[in-house]
Amino acid sequence: MGKRMVKGRACGLCHHQRKRCPQDCPFRPYFPVDQPELYRNAIRLFGVANLKKLMAKVQPEQYEDTMTSIIYEVNRHAEDSVYGCYGALIKLQQQSRNQDRESSVVNEQPHRCNLEASMVNERTHRSNLDPVIDEWPRYTERNLGNQNPLIQSDQRYAVAQQLPRALEKEIANHEDEPSRPLMETTHSDINGN
Cα 155–Cα 157–Cα 160 angle in degrees, nearest 5? 110
Give 6-34 pLDDT, tens digit per residue: 455 778 888 888 888 888 888 888 888 88
Give this prediction's pTM: 0.47
Residues 54-101: pLDDT tens digits? Answer: 988 999 899 899 999 999 999 999 988 888 889 889 999 999 999 999
Using the predicted structure, report yes or no on whether residue 169 has a pLDDT greater than 70: yes
Long-range contacts of 14-19, Cβ-Cβ distance < 8 Å, separation of 24 or more: 15/39, 16/40, 16/43, 16/48, 17/48
Determine the pLDDT at residue 5: 41
The domains of the chain are located at 12-79, 94-191
Q: What is the mean pLDDT of residues 142-148?
A: 52
